[in-house]
Every structure is written in structure tokens, then in C-alpha cells.
């Protein structure tokens, strides 16, 4: 059973489809290709640098940018015309989300009955493109294979598995007031409710 501590449960609500899409730089449809495959096969996978940002700062996967000079402030607006990777630093991999289309609905395990999602957010690469994050990357791919198989039950459990994976990090980040808390919440398809303060904040405002 996936659940949050009561004080956190009270502060967050399930995100809507349009919120999740507004965070995303692209849809993930396929499993990652074998190591050494051409870049074209990384499109719409977790290895897609056009979605998640360049692994190496100011490099793109097709090579077009590799000897490019950063001549003006505007060079940060460039996107490679061939491979679609943004001309920027690898820090983008801390910020850029993707998403997975479910083509069905899944119940949000942290919402009320009727809080359903037909799209799942994929966290920026820094959360899963590491040895520690490997499980999370695998659970995104289990979601993809479940969508492909149209296996409703497995889609639901894979989303629960993603949440199970993120809840400990989310609770720790929240308790330590770490800035990652916002992104991790988004990765759980949650957003902070407006106008709802923590007990401590309410006390400070005198509204408790």
C-alpha cells in the first residue's frame, strides 16, 4: 500500500494531465537501445538527450554542435536542427522532465477515488541515470512495456512501484527543506495545494 505521512498527504494533490504535460520536454515511448546503438535509436527513450538535455555540456548527439563556439548569449537558445538537442550545459539534466502516455487511466495511489491519470511524469535524468537511480529507470521501462501490452493491472502496479521508490526521498527532502522536494513531488504526479500551509506555517500566520 503506497502512502505518505499525514502531514504531507494534506499538503499535496494529484497533478492534472495538463500540468504534467507542461513540465515535459517529450514523450517516452520505447525502451533504451543497446549500448553503442546510433543516436537515432535513442529517440523517445530514456536516453533521448533532446528530451532530457545533453550528457556533455554544449555537445549534441549527432555531432553538429561539437565544435560550435558559444559566441553570444543567444547561443543558449539554439537547438540542433538534426538531433533536437539543446545547446546548453548538462545541468539541464537536473530540470527537464519527460512523460509516458498510458492510453488508459491509472488510479493515483495518493489521491482520492476518481483521481486518475492517463499520463505519468518522468523525472529529470539526474534522478535515474545513476547507479542509485537504476531501479527507478527500470520501473519507467516496466511502465512502457505494460502500456505496450495494454496490461492495465501492470500499468497500475508499475506506477505504484515508481511512487514507492520516490516516497523515502520525497519525505527526506521535505523534512530537510531541500529544493529537490518540488521536482520529486512532480515526479510523483503531485503538486502543492494552493493556500494550504503546514501546521507550523499556520501557527506563524496566526491562522492555526
Helix (H, G, I), strand (E, B) or coil at 116: strand
41 binds Zn ion (CB under 5 A): no
Q: How far is the CB of 95 from Zn ion (least distance, A)?
A: 20
The residue (of 48 and 180) whose beta carbon lies closer to Zn ion is 48
Of 62, 78, 79, 182, the one binding Zn ion (CB under 5 A) is 62
Stretch of 48-56, 58-66, 107-115, 136-144 lying at the interface with Zn ion (CB under 5 A): 58-66
Of 80, 155, 184, 188, the one binding Zn ion (CB under 5 A) is 80
- Cβ contact 8:175 at 8 Å: no
Q: Whole-angstrom Cα distance, residue 99 to residue 122?
A: 5
Residue 76 CB partners (closer than 8 Å, separation 6+) = 87, 88
Give start and end residues of each alpha helix (H) in the chain: 6-9, 17-23, 49-52, 134-148, 152-175, 180-187, 199-205
Residue with cell 503538486: 191
- Cβ contact 199:206 at 8 Å: no
The residue (of 59 and 108) whose beta carbon lies closer to Zn ion is 59
The residue (of 31 and 62) whose beta carbon lies closer to Zn ion is 62
50 binds Zn ion (CB under 5 A): no
Q: How far is the CB of 88 from Zn ion (least distance, A)?
A: 13
83 binds Zn ion (CB under 5 A): yes
185 binds Zn ion (CB under 5 A): no
From 127, 119, 101, select the one nearest 182 (Cα to Cα).
Answer: 127
Starting at the earlier edge strand, list the strands of the sheet with 24-27.
Answer: 24-27, 97-107, 116-122
60 binds Zn ion (CB under 5 A): yes
Of 16, 44, 75, 82, the one binding Zn ion (CB under 5 A) is 82
162 binds Zn ion (CB under 5 A): no
- Alpha-carbon separation of residue 87 from 47, 53, 129, 207 (angstroms): 17, 9, 20, 48
64 binds Zn ion (CB under 5 A): yes
Stretch of 17-25, 38-46, 63-71, 146-154 lying at the interface with Zn ion (CB under 5 A): 63-71
Positions that interact with Zn ion (CB under 5 A)? 60, 62, 64, 80, 82-83
Amino acid at each position: 500500500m503506497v502512502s505518505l505521512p499525514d502531514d504531507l498527504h494534506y499538503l499535496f494533490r494529484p497533478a492534472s494531465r495538463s500540468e504534467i504535460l507542461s513540465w515535459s520536454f517529450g514523450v517516452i515511448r520505447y525502451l533504451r537501445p543497446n549500448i553503442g546503438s546510433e543516436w537515432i535509436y535513442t529517440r523517445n527513450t530514456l536516453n533521448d538527450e533532446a528530451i532530457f538535455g545533453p550528457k556533455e555540456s554544449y555537445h549534441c548527439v549527432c555531432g553538429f554542435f561539437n565544435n560550435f563556439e558559444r559566441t553570444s548569449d543567444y547561443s543558449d537558445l539554439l537547438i540542433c536542427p538534426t538531433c533536437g538537442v539543446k545547446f546548453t550545459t548538462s545541468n539541464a539534466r537536473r530540470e527537464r522532465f519527460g512523460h509516458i502516455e498510458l492510453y488508459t487511466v491509472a488510479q493515483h495511489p495518493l489521491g482520492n477515488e476518481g483521481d486518475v491519470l492517463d499520463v505519468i511524469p518522468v523525472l529529470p535524468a539526474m534522478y535515474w541515470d545513476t547507479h542509485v537511480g537504476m531501479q527507478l529507470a527500470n520501473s519507467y521501462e516496466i511502465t512502457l512495456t505494460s502500456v505496450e501490452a495494454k496490461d492495465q493491472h501492470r500499468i497500475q502496479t508499475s506506477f505504484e512501484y515508481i511512487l514507492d521508490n520516490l516516497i523515502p526521498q520525497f519525505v527526506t527532502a521535505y523534512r530537510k527543506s531541500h529544493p529537490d522536494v518540488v521536482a520529486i513531488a512532480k515526479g510523483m504526479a503531485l503538486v502543492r495545494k494552493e493556500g494550504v500551509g503546514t501546521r507550523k506555517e499556520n501557527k506563524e500566520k496566526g491562522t492555526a
